[in-house]
């Protein structure tokens, strides 16, 4: 392959006109002939540049509402011809095909059209055909052709031309080709995913996921693992769309935990009052509501102060000065909230290792989405767990019905349990978690661990008894035996919320009645592995 190839002729056809005029001027100043289409040609001419329409090159006008304009041998021959192949050169000469050394194309805004909820026919019209065809052709022939698909690469291209006196090197063209194929791959993935959804096909024969690099990471879960963070282009508020105000770059584990924290706190709408969630290693170690945001934070913190150290704090409303001061009392890795006032930002400015993120809003916990996880030889895909339970959905199965206060705490515990790794047990009293048991192999162990944490915190807080006395408890799945339930009773729980569905439900209900508990069934499970 030839290393340095001069750029003498370029074809520009872009939907996103950002930086187009400056690019055109820079290429023209280097003596590059400009070819273009439709709106791109118009924009270049308005910038005072001389441009040849592709229709002049092909001998055919744009037709069929622009569907047919670049699908022609005069274009694709100029992109695909091997300049060092005698037969190719002779064919070009015989048919008057001029070489195209640079292709600058960005595609019809299909993803943006879908994102704004356009009708089916509008989405179809925004599927680019000629663009991907040219991109793939130019990328295949990267031995001789440069292909640029992202506006952020314009400066890189011009810098390369400056370094090599109007030419580009093979290594540079190879990288452009890789970026180009990734772009068309992502584009096709977006189209196929949208069409499957439009057809109601929940299990299409082939499924493709794509993302754009947001940042390279120092390492993954551990220092010996390489990692990077990619975004999918959706506008769901969260760590992917947040603005970082201060602190060093987020790590792999920071991003994972911050996402878990914000998804959890988004379950609690501001209309119901301030709420705070503290996450450590992707599990909640404290969640609470309060009269004020500061109170919500302190109540969440008092669930497990030890685990909260070096954790992630998520808030459901604007971070204020009192809350920022409270959070600053211990080391915290990340704080994420819909917004933050200037006083709070000023307080955090003194904490150079703390990252502050603002999202502009909460995520919608009821929104439909897909989650996926890699396994050896493939990946698992499922609907996001957006299941929600209201008081009217609860089925009372014990002799004693729960009080209104118990129902409120049961629903709070149930919401938190949805975000705790299975087997999950969550004790809640007065709108705050007072014990969390996560990720144990047996449910009874989760009950006991959560209770023990509550005992430890009672000692640390100087309380006469653990806050689990008189609490509600949630279990993310049914109690297979009564031992887990009895462990919760021993901890002090008076009300239980669980899915039900065990072959031993009658035994568990009988044990609850004997203990004087109120128990309700949801009929919904919240496993989280």
CA atoms within 13 A on the CB side of 429: 17
DSSP 447-461: HHHHHHHHHHHHHHH
Strands 425-428 and 471-475: antiparallel
CB 75 within 8 A of CB 95: no
Query: Which are the contacts of 459, defined by CB distance < 8 A and separation ≥ 6?
Result: none
* Cα dihedral across residues 126, 129, 130, 131: positive or negative: positive
List residues with catalytic annotation.
140, 281
Give the separation between CA 3 and CA 174, rounded to whole angstroms: 11
Helix ranges (H only) for 320-442 are 321-327, 342-348, 404-417
Q: How far is CA 170 from the centre of its chain?
A: 35
Give the separation between CA 292 and CA 294, rounded to whole angstroms: 5
Q: Where are the beta strands (DSSP E) in 162-282?
A: 167-168, 212-217, 227-231, 243-246, 275-280
Helix ranges (H only) for 287-429 are 293-301, 305-308, 321-327, 342-348, 404-417
3-state secondary structure of 90: helix
């Amino acid at each position: 392959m030839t290393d340095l190839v001069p750029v003498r002729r370029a074809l520009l056809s872009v939907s996103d006109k950002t930086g187009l005029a400056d690019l055109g001027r820079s290429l023209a100043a280097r003596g590059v002939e400009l070819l273009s289409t439709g709106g791109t040609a118009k924009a270049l001419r308005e910038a005072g540049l001389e441009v040849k329409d592709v229709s002049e090159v092909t001998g055919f006008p744009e037709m069929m509402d622009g569907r047919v304009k670049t699908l022609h041998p005069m274009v694709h021959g100029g992109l695909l011809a091997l300049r060092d192949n005698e037969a190719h050169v002779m064919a070009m000469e015989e048919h008057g095909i001029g070489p195209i050394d640079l292709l600058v194309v960005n595609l019809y805004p299909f993803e943006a059209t879908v994102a704004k909820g356009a009708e089916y026919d509008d989405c179809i019209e925004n599927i680019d055909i000629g663009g991907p065809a040219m991109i793939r052709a130019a990328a295949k022939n990267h031995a001789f052709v440069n292909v640029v698909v992202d506006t952020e690469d314009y400066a890189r291209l011009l810098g390369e031309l400056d370094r090599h006196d109007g030419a580009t090197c093979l290594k540079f063209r190879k990288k452009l080709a890789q970026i180009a194929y990734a772009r068309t791959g992502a584009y096709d993935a977006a189209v196929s995913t949208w069409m499957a959804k439009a057809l109601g096909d929940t299990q299409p024969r082939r499924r493709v996921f794509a993302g754009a690099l947001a940042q390279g990471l120092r390492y993954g879960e551990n220092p010996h693992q390489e990692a990077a963070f990619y975004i999918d282009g959706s506008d769901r508020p969260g760590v992917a769309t947040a603005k970082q105000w201060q602190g060093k770059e987020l790590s792999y584990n920071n991003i994972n935990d911050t996402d878990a924290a914000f998804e959890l706190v988004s379950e609690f709408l501001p209309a119901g009052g301030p709420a705070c969630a503290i996450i450590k290693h992707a599990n909640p170690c404290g969640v609470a509501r309060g009269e004020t945001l500061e109170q919500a934070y302190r109540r969440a913190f008092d669930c497990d102060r030890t685990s909260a150290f070096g954790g992630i704090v998520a808030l459901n409303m604007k971070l204020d000065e009192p809350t920022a001061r409270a959070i600053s009392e211990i080391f915290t890795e990340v704080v994420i909230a819909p917004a933050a006032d200037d006083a709070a930002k000023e307080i955090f400015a003194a904490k150079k290792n703390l990252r502050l993120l603002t999202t502009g809003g909460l995520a919608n916990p009821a929104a439909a989405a897909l989650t996926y996880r890699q396994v050896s030889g493939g990946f698992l895909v499922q609907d996001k767990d957006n299941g929600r339970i209201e008081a009217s959905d609860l089925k009372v199965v014990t002799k004693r019905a729960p009080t209104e206060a118990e129902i409120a705490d049961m629903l709070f515990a149930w919401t938190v349990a949805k975000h705790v790794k299975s087997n999950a047990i969550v004790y809640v009293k007065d709108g705050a978690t007072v014990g969390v048991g996560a990720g144990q192999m047996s449910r009874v162990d989760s009950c006991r661990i959560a209770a023990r944490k509550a005992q430890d915190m009672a000692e640390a807080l100087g309380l006469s008894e653990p806050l689990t006395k008189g609490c509600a408890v949630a279990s993310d799945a049914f109690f297979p035996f009564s031992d887990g339930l009895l462990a919760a009773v021993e901890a002090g729980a008076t009300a239980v919320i669980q899915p039900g569905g065990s072959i031993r439900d009658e035994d568990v209900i009988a044990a609850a009645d004997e203990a004087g508990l109120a128990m309700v069934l949801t009929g919904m499970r919240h496993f989280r592995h």
